[in-house]
Amino acid sequence: MLSFILIILAASIFTGIVNRVRSLVSGRKGPGLFQPIRDVVRLFRKGSVYSDTCSWIFKLAPSVSMATVLMAMLVIPFARTKGVLSFEGDFVFFAYVLALGKFFSIIASWDTGNSFEGMGASREALYSTLAEPAFFILIGSFAMLTGYTSFYDIFRTLHFGSYISYLLGLLATFVLITLAMIENSRMPVDDPRTHLELTMIHEVMILDNSGFDLGLILSTSYLKFALYGALIANFFIDIMPWYIAIPSFFGIQFLVAIAVGIWESFTARFRMSHNPQFIFILSSVSLLIFFGVMLVLHMFN
Amino acid sequence: MKAVSIHNNQSIPVKSIPDLSYTEFLEANTSLVINDRENHCVNYFGFPFEDGIRLVCCIANDHDHLIHISSTLLNIDREYPSFSSLHLSFEKFEREIHENFGIKYLDHPWLKPVRFPFNQYDTANTIANYPFFQVSGEEIHEVGVGPIHAGVIEPGHFRFSCNGEQILHMEIQLGYQHRGIEYLLLEKKKLLQRTTIAESIAGDTVAGHTTAFINLFESLSGFKATEDLRFSRMLALELERIAMHTADLSALCTDIAYQLGSAVYGRLRTPIINFLQVWCGNRLAKGLLRPGMTHFPFTQALAEKLNAVLDSFEPDFIEMSKKLFSLPSALSRFEKTGVVSEEQLLEMGCVGMAARMYGVSRDVRFSHPHDLYSDIQHELIIKHHGDVYSRAQIRKQEIIQSIAFIREMLKSIPEPKEAGEDLQPMGKNMLALSLVEGWRGEICHCAITDSSGELEVYKVKDPSFHNWLALAMSVRNNEISDFPICNKSFNLSYCGHDL
């Protein structure tokens, strides 16, 4: 339960920090850290407008996306406390429950019959398909290393034995940050700030959403970022008393947000056709982790 | 004699323009353009004359600094062979003539209306029943963008036929901004009204269009501009070039989501346009240029201020450009994106940056110098790849060049003269033509006066008129997500085209 609450708390400022870093780096003062939350609160007070051509799927999808992220949060442990749910193979549950949310947002964007949204949906589907192997090779490797298949057990036993696990955790951090950027359609794969429908991925899929629904979609995306941040934190927070563990959880989230902000400030977005190559890099880094694990387990004989 | 040859900003009696038969007219003009790449059509227009339509064609030769003008008289009821089937650069001019007067062409490839204006010949022809190009196939999809722009710029409709992410063809439809500029210039009789309208032809090219109008008007009235007037016009043009090129580089960075470039170039533009405000009270130089006079003489104190502005602008600009043009992620977006070949450029008659990006040396400052441009050593900036990178590089180098020009100019500021003579009325039955190199490219204004010395025809040609087609060609076979940077790298004017 602790992790569930911590993720919600971290989500409330994560995007604010990213935006603030970007502003400071480009010489502007920038909005307050809680501006994203204020935006969502404002949207929650509004009603939604629906086009005549869309069906119940379009109305259902934002809630499904939100629900799936909340469900995924349930299996995330924190230090020595289990998540709300914990069972064998819960990382598979984690991945596919998120995929379900994505599936709904894709079919909802088709539902509008908007040609921009169709384009965005096809890009989103392609990139999440390409990103999937990276996640499974990554968590699979750690499952192999520890011999367990639930997040809680993996993280509990990760650092027994060899310190090489911290090194693997560092590589995993890179993969997870990048995955979070892809899943949330941020730079360098997608540019959330552009006004150009033709180049967007995620933003263009939600062009027709407004008011309460848009608020749901935005808060889903904040939660998703913090969700990946929490996974990263778990790689490093070992057996610690809570008064060290909780600040270090926020510290790690903070560092991840700053890293994202700086990365987004100093690079241009990729050409769309280079994105698949970039995403495949993640799979190869995950493979590196996989071979690292095999090395640790003396499987090369 | 097939044509009368004039220099830039020269006015001649209408009588001296040879009146050819249509066949001769067609052959003479198309062969000029086909046989010599230094020739290009700067204006080709019609106006009602007696009971027919008189066509006037102006072909500029960049090599011998001359503009060849010829004319013919058409009968509305007959059908004519088109220039466009021989050389495509006449395509849009003929479409405009067709749209305004209903001249029928036998073999024009594409008689699409240019503007769907309220004052066209056939008002039944509207955007609602216009048949766009269609590409069909199971995997082909169409994406329509506009006419309402998602951001802040002007209205235009783009229709893409795509195969997945790849653009097969893009058709551009403009005309949503048609304000009837050319008619307003005839309708309004006061000089101040006309100058203000000329300032509003395109908000981003105020100095360019106003200079063209003023030079044309002064030429028709036989007024010789004093050196300080010509100085202020050239200075305004060069400042506008710096400001707009910097803004374009900022916008290019925004479109590739490179935040640093976007912020830094955006900041750099501000002191330049703020200087214009200090000079004349308007950041876009509105009110600065007036025929035969100026309200804002350029003083030594302003020169010092401008020098200080440039001193702080230049190092920052160079540092940022170094960073941008060596950033791998930016280069991978710019290079080999939106390529237009040299043959295509010549065929479409592109001007300005769009011509210079692929080895075509077209620059009015060099080929038909006006104001003080004949006094400076102007080296053309020519690139050879025709891609977004070339267009961005041209901007960067032209800014540095313009700064050098301005520094040179500031060394000797002409004494402001007291406005001695008043403007004379315009000459009777005269034709005058004025070419100006705006930041976007060649601007052409052309006017004809009637027997009472009043304007009878006024034609405006913005560089965008030629160059829009180049944008359509550049995006072919590119990814649809690269369209925004292709568009920005041309940065063409909607209102300059729609008039």
| pLDDT 10s digits, A59-82 | 999 999 999 999 999 998 887 788
Average of per-residue pLDDT values in chain A: 86
The answer to whether the Cβ–Cβ distance between B259 and A26 falls below 8 Å is yes
Specify the DSSP class assigned to residue B415: P
Strands annotated E in B403-475: 430-437, 442-449, 455-461
Residues of A with CB below 8 A from B142's CB? 115
Range A54-82 burial, b when 16+ CB lie within 10 A, else e:
beeebeebbbbbbbbbbbbbbbbbbbeeb
- CB-CB contact of B219 with B10 (8 Å): yes
Q: Band of the pLDDT at B1, cuts 50, 70, 90?
A: low
pLDDT (mean) for A275-297 = 88
The answer to whether the Cβ–Cβ distance between A272 and B482 falls below 8 Å is yes
- CB-CB contact of B400 with B318 (8 Å): yes
Reference A170, options A288, A63, A50, A38; nearest CA is: A288
Specify the DSSP class assigned to residue B109: S
CA B321, CA B326: separation in Å to the nearest integer?
8
pLDDT of B206 reads 92
pLDDT of B308 reads 92
Q: Which helix (H) or strand (E) holds B20?
A: strand B19-20
The answer to whether the Cβ–Cβ distance between B481 and A266 falls below 8 Å is no
Q: What angle do CA B381, B384, B385 make, to 5 degrees?
A: 125
- CB-CB contact of A234 with A152 (8 Å): no
* Max CA pair span of chain A: 65
Reference B498, options B467, B461, B456; nearest CA is: B461
A contact test, residue of B481, B486, B487, B488 with most A CBs within 10 A: B481
Q: What angle do CA B319, B320, B326 make, to 5 degrees?
A: 95
Strands annotated E in B50-93: 52-61, 66-74, 79-80
pLDDT (mean) for A28-48 = 90
Burial class (CB in 10 A: 0-12, 13-18, 19+), B153: middle
Please name the residues in contact with B341: beta carbons below 8 A apart, sequence gap of 6 or more.
B358, B386
pLDDT (mean) for B117-128 = 72
Residues of A with CB below 8 A from B327's CB? 267-268
Q: What share of chain A is helix, strand, coil (3-state, %, to 5)?
A: 70, 0, 30
Specify the DSSP class assigned to residue B282: -
The pairing of strands B19-20 and B11-13 is unpaired
Which chain A residue is nearest to residue B480, measuring alpha carbons? Answer: A198
CA B270, CA B287: separation in Å to the nearest integer?
19
> What type of residue sits at position B206?
V
Residues of B with CB below 8 A from A127's CB? none
- Give the one of B256, B259, B481 whose C-beta lies nearest to A198's C-beta: B481
| pLDDT tens sequence across B367-383 | 888 888 888 888 888 88
- Give the one of A25, A27, A115 whose C-beta lies nearest to B142's C-beta: A115
Specify the DSSP class assigned to residue A232: H
Reference A31, options A16, A42, A43, A44; nearest CA is: A16
Cβ atoms within 10 Å, residue B170: 24
The answer to whether the Cβ–Cβ distance between A267 and B333 falls below 8 Å is no
pLDDT of B318 reads 92
CA B457, CA B76: separation in Å to the nearest integer?
19
Q: Band of the pLDDT at B150, cuts 50, 70, 90?
A: low
- Give the one of B263, B480, B482 whose C-beta lies nearest to A26's C-beta: B263
CA B370, CA B211: separation in Å to the nearest integer?
10
Domains of chain B: 4-114 (3.30.460.80), 181-498 (1.10.645.10)
The pairing of strands B157-163 and B52-61 is unpaired
Q: Band of the pLDDT at B118, cuts 50, 70, 90?
A: low
The per-residue DSSP string of A217-229 comes to: HHHHHHHHHHHHH
- Give the one of B255, B256, B332 whose C-beta lies nearest to A274's C-beta: B332
> What percent of chain B lies above the pLDDT cut of 90?
18
* B141 contact A CB<8A: yes
| pLDDT tens sequence across B415-463 | 877 666 677 788 788 889 999 988 998 999 999 988 888 888 899 999 9
pLDDT of A216 reads 92
Which chain B residue is nearest to residue A198, measuring alpha carbons? Answer: B481
Which chain B residue is nearest to residue A273, measuring alpha carbons? Answer: B479
B372 three-class SS: coil
Residue A155 tokens, joined: 């993280």
The answer to whether the Cβ–Cβ distance between A268 and B327 falls below 8 Å is yes
* B451 contact A CB<8A: no
pLDDT of A66 reads 93
| pLDDT tens sequence across A145-166 | 888 888 888 888 877 766 777 8
A108 three-class SS: helix
Separation in Å, CA of A277 to nearest CA in chain B: 14
B65 three-class SS: coil
* B254 contact A CB<8A: yes
pLDDT (mean) for B56-73 = 88
- CB-CB contact of A127 with A120 (8 Å): no
- Give the one of A25, A188, A198 whose C-beta lies nearest to B484's C-beta: A198
Strands annotated E in chain A: none
Separation in Å, CA of B79 to nearest CA in chain A: 42
Separation in Å, CA of A223 to nearest CA in chain B: 24
Which one has a higher pLDDT value, B207 or B135?
B207
Which chain A residue is nearest to residue B337, measuring alpha carbons? Answer: A271
Residue B194 φ then ψ, to 5° = -65, -40
Quick one: how many helices (H) and strands (E) in chain B? 16, 14
Separation in Å, CA of A284 to nearest CA in chain B: 21
In the predicted structure, residue B286 carries a pLDDT above the cut 70: yes
Residue carrying structure tokens 């995620």: A202
> What percent of chain B lies above the pLDDT cut of 70?
98
A81 three-class SS: strand
Q: Which helix (H) or strand (E) holds B18?
A: none
CA A25, CA A127: separation in Å to the nearest integer?
29
CA B428, CA B451: separation in Å to the nearest integer?
5
* B142 contact A CB<8A: yes
Which chain B residue is nearest to residue A122, measuring alpha carbons? Answer: B164
* B263 contact A CB<8A: yes
B22 three-class SS: helix
CA A160, CA A156: separation in Å to the nearest integer?
9
Burial class (CB in 10 A: 0-12, 13-18, 19+), B23: exposed
pLDDT of B151 reads 64
Residues of A with CB below 8 A from B159's CB? none
In the predicted structure, residue A277 carries a pLDDT above the cut 70: yes
pLDDT (mean) for A156-180 = 81
> What type of residue sits at position A127?
Y
Burial class (CB in 10 A: 0-12, 13-18, 19+), A47: exposed
Edge to edge, what strands does the sheet with B442-449 contain? B11-13, B430-437, B442-449, B455-461
Q: Band of the pLDDT at B152, cuts 50, 70, 90?
A: low
Residues of B with CB below 8 A from A273's CB? 165, 479
pLDDT (mean) for B265-278 = 91
pLDDT (mean) for B303-309 = 91
A contact test, residue of B157, B259, B331 with most A CBs within 10 A: B259
- Give the one of A22, A27, A198 whose C-beta lies nearest to B483's C-beta: A198
| pLDDT tens sequence across B217-258 | 888 888 888 888 888 899 999 999 999 999 999 999 988 888
The answer to whether the Cβ–Cβ distance between B257 and A193 falls below 8 Å is yes
Size of interface A-B (CB pairs under 8 A): 85
- Give the one of B144, B327, B481 whose C-beta lies nearest to A272's C-beta: B481
Residue B143 φ then ψ, to 5° = -125, 125
* B259 contact A CB<8A: yes
Q: Band of the pLDDT at A26, cuts 50, 70, 90?
A: confident
CA B483, CA B488: separation in Å to the nearest integer?
9
Tallying the residues shown for chain B, one arrives at 499
- CB-CB contact of B172 with B157 (8 Å): yes
